[in-house]
Chain A
Amino acid sequence: MGPDRLERRAVISGIGQSQVGRRLYRDPLDLTIDAALEAIADAGLEPADIDGIATYPGNQDVPPGFSGVGVVEVQDALRLELDWFAGGLESPGQLGSVINAIAAVATGLADHVLCFRTVWEASAQGSKGRSSVTMGAGGTGAGYRASGFMQWTLPFGAPSAANWIAMMAQRHFHEFGTTREQLAQIALNGRRNAARNPKAIYRDPMTLDDYLGVRMISTPLCLYDCDVPADGSTAVIVSRADAAADLAHPPARIEAVGAAIHGRPSWDQWDDLTTMALRDAAAMLWSRTDLTPADVDVAELYDGFSFITLCWLEALGFCGHGEGGPFIEGGERIALDGEIPLNTHGGQLSAGRLHGYGFLHEACVQLWDRGGERQVAGGPEVAVVGAGGGPLGGCLLLTRDR
């Protein structure tokens, strides 16, 4: 590819992850520090080398457990001297923070950026109850009035992305004949892979009958189409490529980023509800590389809800628009030994809702042949990572350093 793409000047040099689980009741900053120190050490760096921080969403007034930890808490806990930092809810999905970090190192604003995402939704929901979670800043609801986007959904009892994604799935079912049996394969594949991941939350076998028999959340999405609230923190170090030459191990190279949003930035006003913002992000990604979907050895694609993964598969061109159902039917194609191994750690549906960063962590695990029992055979060289759904979407194409 002719022009020098800025992202080629950045690499991922290290990864780390805290303890992951349901209701750990551990301080989210404590989890974050575990992940951060592990990632810094994995890269062969010291905290003093870190001159940037990027996170999503940062300290925000959002439902309990979602915001996690912000920039300043981590900076202060580790006494980092930062040249650059960014957090924020408005970005192309969770990976928007990593894409920000890539831009920062590529343009010389920082050398080594600590990127992290911390969630403690399981503990927050366990102690505070679900109603407060869905009311956001409004607590129990008394006297609370919705504004912004939520004013258009909360009065109608639709507070959750489960409702909004369900309506997108329903439209896809209607237009293309997609079925619950097909969608089930995302969950079943995740569970099979989770059985090989010691950190996954749900590892017991799941059958199609289990899936079809479990309670519905919001038709056509059942409980097993929805990811598992978890506590945990994931960190990655984004380094300037020439500053990473002599680090601990060969890094993952960044071949291309996708961060575009061309459609209306809204869950219910998006132009074609059978697609999502990932459509635009994926198109941008492929416009920045000579590689094609056929070159991808492993795909780590967001499954906050199973239907989002199906949309990512279509958006990234593994199959045509509307063909996601037949593509995943039977599950062989997306299995660990299939054409395009998908969500090899179990995804958020089984391994826990680490909110996007878990997929990036797993892509590096696979490219670095650290997958143990779940390692994709043959030394995967190209991985695609996508995170976000609805009007949020960002993606990365990573390659193994040679």
Chain B
Amino acid sequence: MADSKPFRVLPRITEQNEHFWRGGREGELRFLRCQRCGYWIHPPAPVCPECLSKDVAPEATSGRAVVHTYTVNEQPWIPTLDPPYVVAIVELPEQEGLRLTTNIVNCDPYEVRIGMQVRVTFEEYDDVWLPFFEPAGSAGGEGR
């Protein structure tokens, strides 16, 4: 990682989202999960949309994902966050449709493809651990 990180807009941490944004402190990508039927919930909500149970709690996922879609952003929207960088929606194997928006890092932006296997890697900004994803194959460096 570069010594000086670019400025990023960070999320406002609440009781409802803290497990997600700070799970990276323990190296875990966490989502709320229904304790009754096992459904993963994202974004966080106080009720399971499948069985309407309110017994929901954070659990760690495998941190593995597949690139569902992506874009190489070329526009300097945010000062110091220099393009090009990859914005992607990745889907986790834990559940069909369990997705999040993220950045694909540690690879050539123009090498990213739909269907690519990726894994989570966290970067700390103040009190937030942003979950980025890097190639899970040899390009990302297994076991780093």
* Residues of A that sit less than 8 Å from B by CB: 130-131, 134-135, 138, 141, 144-147, 151-160, 162-163, 166-168, 170-171, 174, 215-221, 266, 268-269, 271, 273
Contacts of A170 in B (CB 8 A): 69-71, 114
A145:B12 contact, CB within 8 angstroms:
yes
A171:B100 contact, CB within 8 angstroms:
no
A157:B103 contact, CB within 8 angstroms:
yes
Within 8 Å of chain A (Cβ to Cβ): is B72?
yes
Given A144-B9, A167-B88, A273-B89, A130–B72 Cβ distance below 8 Å? no
A157:B85 contact, CB within 8 angstroms:
yes
B72:A152 contact, CB within 8 angstroms:
no
Docked CA distance A271–B114 (Å) = 17
Besides the known contacts A152-B101, A167-B70, 14 further A-B residue pairs in the complex with CB atoms under 8 A apart: A145-B9, A145-B10, A155-B125, A156-B103, A157-B8, A157-B87, A159-B78, A170-B114, A171-B69, A216-B74, A218-B75, A221-B71, A266-B43, A269-B97
B30 to chain A, nearest CB (A): 15
List 22 A-B residue pairs with CB atoms under 8 Å apart, sorted by A's residue number: A131-B77, A144-B9, A145-B9, A146-B11, A147-B14, A151-B17, A152-B101, A155-B8, A155-B9, A155-B125, A155-B128, A157-B8, A157-B78, A157-B81, A158-B101, A159-B9, A159-B78, A160-B77, A168-B69, A171-B69, A171-B114, A219-B72
B47 to chain A, nearest CB (A): 15
B112 to chain A, nearest CB (A): 10
B132 to chain A, nearest CB (A): 8
Contacts of A138 in B (CB 8 A): 9
B40 to chain A, nearest CB (A): 12
Most A-side CB within 10 Å, residue of B71, B99, B114? B71
Contacts of B77 in A (CB 8 A): 130-131, 134, 157, 159-160
B92 to chain A, nearest CB (A): 13
Within 8 Å of chain A (Cβ to Cβ): is B25?
no
A224 to chain B, nearest CB (A): 14
A112 to chain B, nearest CB (A): 41
B89:A167 contact, CB within 8 angstroms:
yes
Which residue on B lies nearest to A152, using beta carbons?
Answer: B101
| In the complex, per-residue mask of B9-28: 1 if CB is within 8 Å of any chain A CB, else 0 | 11111100100000000000
B138 to chain A, nearest CB (A): 23
Contacts of A168 in B (CB 8 A): 69
